[in-house]
Every structure is written in C-alpha cells, then in structure tokens.
Homo-oligomer: A and B are copies of this chain.
Amino acid sequence: MYSFEKVRDFTNEVFLKIGCSATDAELATKVLVSADLRGIDSHGVARLIGYIRLWEADRINPTPNVRLVHETPSTGVVDGDAGLGLVVAPKAMDIVIDKAKNVGSGWISIKNSNHYGIAGYHAMMALEHDMVGMSMTNASPLVSPTFSTERMLGTNPIAVAIPADKQPPFVADFATTTAANGKLEILQRKSEEAPSGWIQDKEGQSSTDPHELKEGGALLPLGGDRDHGSHKGFCLGSIVDIFSGVFSGANYGPWVPPFVSFLPMPEDPVGEGIGHFLGAMRIDGFRPATEFKSNMDTWIERFRNAQSTKGMPNVVIPGDPERNFEKERLANGIPLNEKVIDDLQEVGKKFGLSF
C-alpha cells in the first residue's frame, strides 16, 4: 500500500523530468492519480511508463500549445499540439465551461492529443459550475464491430456527470464494450477465464481465453453478440469515434494511433493524433438550478431505494463505487501490484528518482 501523497509526488516529479511546466505537471498528475484514487487501477500510475515510452518515441510533446483553431459561440475544435491528453483535455474543458457560461452549453472536439486518463475526470470538472459535464474519447483499435474480425474501434468510453443537491453527483463513466480492457488484464494476471460475450478469437468466434487479444482476437461491443444487442454497443463506440475524431480532424477507427510505443504508427493517417469530445450544459440553461438539483436528489434516492432482487445489494448509483474508493484510498493508501511497482521503479531509474 502506497500513500496517495507518495504516488502523487513521484508522478509529478516524473512529468517535470520530461519537460512539462510546473503547472502542466501538476495538472497531468492530478488527472492520472485520480484514476488510482477512484479505483480505476488500469488508468492510473499503471500507465505512467506507457506515457514515458511515448515521450521517448517522440510521440508526446511535453510543452504543447493547446489552442482553439475553430469556433462558434457554443462549439469548437482544440488542437492539442501532440500534448499529453492528461493536460490537453482539462484545458479544453476549461474552454467548454466558458462557452457554457456564455451561451448555455459548450462542445469542443479535440485533435492531435494522446490518452487522456479517465473520461470521468473531465466530465466532473463541470459539476462545481452547476453544469452537466460530458466526456468521451476514441482510443487504439481493440474492438471488432458485430459480424467482423477486424479491430476497428477503441474501448471508446463515455462519461456523464450530473450535479445533485444533498446527494452526491451522478457520475457514469464506462467503456462502450462489454468489459473494459483493464478487467481483461486482471483475468490475464490471474489466468482466469473471461465470461462469454467479452472477447472473440481471430476467426470471430466467441472465446473465454483472456489472452485472445494477443492472438489476433478482439474485444466485443457492449451487448457481446447480435442477439444481445452488440450492434447497439457498436453504435455507441462509433458515435464516440465520430464525435472525437471526425468532428475534430483527429484519426478515427482503425487509424487511431496505438498507446503502446512498440507498435508502429499507422502509415496512412486520416487525421492528427487521437481525438476527444467534451461538453457541458448549464443546468440553469433548462430550469432554475435549485429545482433541478432537488429533483436529482429525488431521482437518486428513489433509484437507490428500488426493491432489490433477493440476495443482491441495492441499486448502484453511478459514481458511488468510485467515491467509496476515493475515501478509502485517501485514508489508507493505494494498492499497487508488483508489475506496476517494477514499472514505476524503472521509470524512476531513467530520471534518477526513487520509488
């Protein structure tokens, strides 16, 4: 178990060492470590070595000039200048929030960026402004559309954060696949089988082997197969891809660059870097904020108290599990597995830092 402060300070030092400004290093750290706090271990410091390797491969610009390149009062495109998505996305979200302050809502599509951490962080930035926040991103292709054997989409997550009054906010943050890649990695480490509907082999047949992705297999869209609505998961992943990539001029579909530096960049890019899409709507752009928030309290309380199936827990309000993790880990520390500790020590060695 590592204290939050230790993990945070080490990460901050590393981002400084690759040349980030003090402000950017602090921001990137805050976004990255929020994943560890919120229990989304696959997207926290476990990925730090991946970002560093991308920087070593000259695929990340540590001093990006993040700027609006096209806009209307409520929409626009931000060029991330090949920066860390951990820095580009929250800066773009500041613009989104400004637009929403001015005209009720703001919608920014981002090109020329990199992996942006957990989708939920950026959506949640809207909450303190009494806005609903939205965040989505395309990602390296790992997912096959229904009926196909090709990897055409990333796990393309969607996050939506909605403020309440006495209740904590509603925060949904989920991959548009049956299971996120992080869950598969856990099964791989434990050598356990995956449930049906998570993955297919390279021939497009359903598989329960969590190592299938290394053999040419693919993750499956939410739903798993056609009978169970995988075409809907494919629609969702596609919408995220188009809003993030086609709106902005980033790469999309199978052209999205890989996160791992040992895989080559696509040879015939259709855009620049990876893409995100961020939005915010002022709740008082619809009705008085107090009315909205009081109704959200009613919504949350009613759903939390819905009759449970015998032997099952209460209905889980989106955001509750992550909030519980955050409370517990701030108090007791962050568990890191051996592989992650090794990776962090390797990163430390590169820069003369100890972990």
**Taking beta carbons and an 8 Å cutoff, which residues of A are in contact with B?**
70-77, 103-105, 107, 109, 144-150, 152, 160, 162, 170, 172, 174-179, 195, 197, 203-205, 222-224, 227-229, 231-236, 238-239, 241-242, 246-249, 252-254, 270-271, 281-283, 285-287, 291-292, 295-296, 298-299, 302-303, 306-310, 312-316, 318
CB-contact partner of A318 in B179, B238, B313, under 8 A: B238
B270 in contact with A306 (CB, 8 Å):
no
CB-contact partner of A148 in B231, B247, B285, B307, under 8 A: B307
Q: A271 vs B107: C-alpha distance in the bound complex, in angstroms?
A: 29
CB-contact partner of A306 in B145, B231, B249, under 8 A: B145
Report if A204-B103 is in contact (Cβ < 8 Å); known contacts: A74-B73, A76-B285, A285-B75: no
Q: A234 vs B286: C-alpha distance in the bound complex, in angstroms?
A: 24
B105 in contact with A170 (CB, 8 Å):
no
CB-contact partner of A75 in B197, B235, B282, under 8 A: B282
Give the shortest distance, in Å, between A23 (CB) and chain B (any CB). Answer: 28
B178 in contact with A287 (CB, 8 Å):
no
A204 in contact with B312 (CB, 8 Å):
yes
B242 in contact with A162 (CB, 8 Å):
yes
Give me the 4 closest cross-chain CB pairs, A-B, nearest first: A72-B104, A204-B309, A75-B285, A75-B104
Task: A74-B103, A148-B309, A172-B239 are known; give 20 further A-B pairs, CB within 8 A.
Answer: A70-B287, A72-B104, A75-B286, A76-B104, A77-B287, A105-B105, A147-B316, A148-B308, A148-B315, A160-B239, A172-B238, A174-B229, A176-B232, A203-B309, A204-B308, A231-B316, A241-B299, A252-B299, A253-B302, A270-B298
